[in-house]
């Protein structure tokens, strides 16, 4: 059996690690980086470029360069409208409504785009190990729902990887930390990356890692901080020159790059220079954007974003029945936690400084490698218990959500619910499954519909069907049903409302392998 690699498939950056002996080791990519930008470009001649090379093309090739596919994966085009208006590439709706990207006239699924990133991480590992790799543990935000998890698995399949496990990013971080610090303790994992914020509370007891609660904001990350800087620079520029730089896609790209660079510099310096010569053409010739930016200005402009960190933390503490004083260690994860104002917020929220010796860019991939070791038996003393992030249930009369598996239940788990027919001689019942916290089912995410057929004809209410929901350790749902009394298994057909078909996955996989 070959090696199982651990991949942190990030919105912005990805990282791959393997277990060497008992130590998780991060692998350098071919360009020498320990993380790889999650970016993919399609050149005019059809070549696909991934990682740092793609990031460099961003300015010259903005419509053919895709970043942030993780914000689209497993989502509907209608759900990402707000995001779409700020992106240089075009989002289109696939036949089933899924959000795809139009890359120079070719619609491409986020699964295919992510597969290119995963395939790159696979090659990085293969170059280092000197053998081919077929299996991986891939991490996702704790808040990802069933559809997003399944879509991530499909991206792995397209890349030629069997995804042995889908692991929550904060759980991965706690695992990497916990195997080195085995004492019984409670951890808060505070992960602010490029696109998402996740907060999880975990308990480590006698080698058992248990996630007590998890919350987050899927629309809060470094990109939003970049956007605040872009707006600040563009608004000032417009006031002075009467020209909106955001209207020009090349200027916007340069502005975005400069904004991110300034943000990163202001994590260590108090002031930085933004220098964008020839950014626009004015009546009197070229116009330049040259100015200084101070850390204080950045922090004031980002206050709204910093404030958004608090509610998910309070909720996670509450669900874990903890107060900040119960938390022994705070792990800061994600590139954005290098920003001093973010660190200060974490200190304010938890009333203690963050743990030392944690590399925020690498710890998630290291945890994925540790998890592969647990599954492979190299690390036996560690047991992992994770939780499901959302309520899972069915729609009942009056559009109410009848919860079958509630949020923060330990997984794997199984729950049952009994349904009765509502009409005489009904031979089938159709049940719609939803995931989410709203009391009205239709306000939650619809996972699909299933039909239980071959029921015995009987007066209404007499035929009862027991439906069992099984959620595996990856947080992916399976459904079985049996008619009560007869014990006869009713046939179950699930009509998925999202994702790629098996044929599409196979076809994309063949294309990628070529």
Give the tokens for residue 283. 């009546």
CB 255: neighbour CB atoms within 10 A? 24
Q: Considering the complex, what minimum distance in angstroms separates the CB of residue 344 from ligand ADP?
A: 13
Nearer to ligand ADP, 193 or 389 (CB): 193
* Smallest gap from residue 219 Cβ to ligand ADP (A): 12
Exposed (0-12), middle (13-18) or buried (19+): which is 166, by Cβ within 10 Å? Answer: buried
Residue 336 interacts with which of ligand ADP, Mg ion, none, CB < 5 to 8 Å by class: ligand ADP
Q: Smallest distance from the beta carbon of 125 to ligand ADP, in angstroms?
A: 18
- Residue with Cβ nearer ligand ADP (346 or 401): 346
**How far, in Å, CA of 202 to CA of 211, rounded?**
4
Report what 264 binds from Mg ion, ligand ADP, none; CB cut-off 5-8 Å by kind: ligand ADP
Q: Is 8 a catalytic residue?
A: yes
Catalytic residue among 112, 145, 191, 224: 191
Both tokens assigned to 303: 């206050």
Question: Among 8, 146, 210, 226, which one carries the catalytic annotation?
Answer: 8
Whether 122 is catalytic is no
Compute the least distance from the CB of residue 331 to ligand ADP, in Å.
13
Q: Catalog residues that contact ligand ADP under the rule CB under 6 A.
A: 10-13, 193-195, 221-222, 260, 263-264, 267, 334-336, 338-339, 361
Give the per-residue contact string, 183-212, with Mg ion (x = CB under 5 A; - = no): ----------x-------------------
Closest approach of Cβ 156 to ligand ADP, in Å? 17
Q: Is the dihedral of CA 334, 335, 338, 344 positive or negative?
A: negative
User: Cα(445)–Cα(79) distance, rounded to whole angstroms?
Assistant: 10
Q: Does 6 bind Mg ion (CB under 5 A)?
A: no
Query: Are β-strands 329-333 and 285-294 bridged in parallel, bridged antiparallel, or unpaired?
Result: unpaired
Question: Residue 190: which residues within 8 A CB-CB, separation 6 or more?
Answer: 199, 313, 330, 331, 332, 333, 337, 346, 350, 354
For residues 200-229, one letter each, b for 16 or more C-beta atoms within 10 angstroms of the residue's C-beta and e for the rest, the string is bbbbbeeeebbbbbbbbbbebbbbbbbebb
Binding partner of residue 195 among Mg ion, ligand ADP, none, CB under 5 to 8 Å per kind?
ligand ADP
Q: Is 68 in the site for Mg ion (CB under 5 A)?
A: no
Pick from 3, 6, 10, 140 the residue near Mg ion by CB under 5 A.
10
Q: How far apart are CA 99 and CA 109, in angstroms?
A: 7
Return the number of the residue (170 or 389) whose C-beta is nearest ligand ADP.
170
Report the residue number, 10 or 509, with the smaller CB distance to Mg ion: 10
Beta bridge partners of 429: 452
Among residues 13 and 388, whose Cβ is nearest to ligand ADP?
A: 13
Q: For ligand ADP, give the closer residue by CB, 222 or 389.
A: 222
Give catalytic status of residue 169 as yes or no. Answer: yes
Task: Identify the active-site residue in 146, 169, 210, 474.
Answer: 169
The piece of 10-18, 30-38, 80-88, 377-385 that touches Mg ion (CB under 5 A) is: 10-18
492 burial type by CB count under 10 A (0-12 exposed, 13-18 middle, 19+ buried): middle
- CB-CB contact of 178 with 329 (8 Å): no
Strands in 99-103's sheet, in edge-to-edge order, are 90-93, 99-103, 106-108
**Nearest approach, Cβ of residue 50 and Mg ion (Å):** 18
Task: By CB under 5 A, name the binding residues for Mg ion.
Answer: 10, 193
Q: Which residues are catalytic?
A: 8, 70, 169, 191
């Amino acid at each position: 059996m070959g090696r199982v690699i651990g991949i942190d498939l990030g919105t912005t950056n990805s990282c791959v690690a393997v277990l060497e002996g008992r130590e998780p080791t991060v692998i350098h990519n071919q360009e020498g980086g320990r993380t790889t930008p999650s970016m993919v470009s399609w050149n005019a001649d059809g070549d696909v470029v991934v990682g740092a090379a793609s990031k460099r093309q961003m300015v010259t090739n903005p419509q053919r360069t895709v970043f942030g596919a993780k914000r689209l994966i497993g989502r509907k085009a209608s759900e990402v409208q707000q995001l779409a208006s700020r992106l240089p590439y075009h989002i289109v709706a696939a036949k089933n409504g899924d959000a795809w990207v139009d890359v120079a006239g070719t619609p491409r699924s986020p699964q295919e785009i992510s597969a290119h990133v995963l395939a790159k991480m696979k090659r990085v590992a293969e170059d280092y190990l000197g053998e081919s790799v077929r299996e991986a543990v891939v991490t996702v935000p704790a808040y990802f729902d069933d559809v997003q998890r399944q879509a991530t698995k499909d991206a792995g399949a397209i890349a030629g990887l069997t995804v042995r496990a889908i692991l929550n990013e904060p759980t991965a971080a706690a695992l990497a930390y916990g195997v080195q610090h085995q004492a019984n303790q409670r951890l808060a994992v505070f992960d602010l990356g490029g696109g998402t914020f996740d907060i999880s509370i975990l308990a480590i007891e006698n080698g058992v890692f248990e996630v007590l609660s998890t919350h987050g904001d899927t629309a809060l990350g470094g990109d939003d901080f970049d956007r605040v800087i872009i707006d600040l620079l563009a608004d000032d520029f417009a006031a002075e020159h009467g020209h909106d730089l955001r209207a020009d896609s090349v200027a916007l790209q340069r502005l975005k790059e400069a904004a991110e660079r300034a943000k990163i510099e202001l994590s260590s310096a108090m002031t930085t220079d933004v220098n964008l010569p020839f950014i626009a053409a004015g009546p009197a010739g070229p116009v330049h954007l040259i100015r200084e930016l101070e850390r204080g200005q950045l922090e004031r402009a980002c206050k709204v974003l910093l404030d958004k960190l608090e509610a998910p933390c309070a909720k996670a503490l509450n669900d874990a029945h903890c107060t900040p004083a119960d938390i022994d260690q705070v792990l800061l994860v994600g590139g954005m936690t290098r920003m001093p104002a973010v660190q200060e917020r974490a200190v304010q929220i938890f009333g203690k400084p963050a743990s030392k010796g944690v590399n925020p860019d690498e710890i998630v991939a290291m945890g994925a490698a540790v998890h592969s070791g647990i599954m492979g038996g190299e690390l036996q003393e560690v047991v992992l218990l994770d939780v499901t992030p959302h309520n899972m249930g069915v729609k009942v009369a009056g559009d109410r959500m009848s919860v079958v598996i509630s949020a923060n239940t330990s997984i794997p788990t199984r729950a049952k619910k009994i349904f009765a027919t509502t009409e005489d001689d009904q031979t089938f019942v159709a049940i719609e499954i939803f995931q989410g916290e709203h009391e009205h089912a239709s306000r939650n995410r619809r996972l699909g519909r299933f039909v239980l057929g071959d029921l015995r004809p009987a007066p209404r209410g007499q035929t009862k069907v027991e439906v069992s929901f099984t959620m595996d350790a990856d947080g992916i749902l399976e459904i079985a049903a049996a008619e009560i009394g007869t014990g006869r298994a009713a046939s179950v057909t699930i009509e998925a409302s999202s994702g790629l078909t098996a044929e599409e996955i196979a076809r994309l996989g063949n294309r990628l392998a070529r």
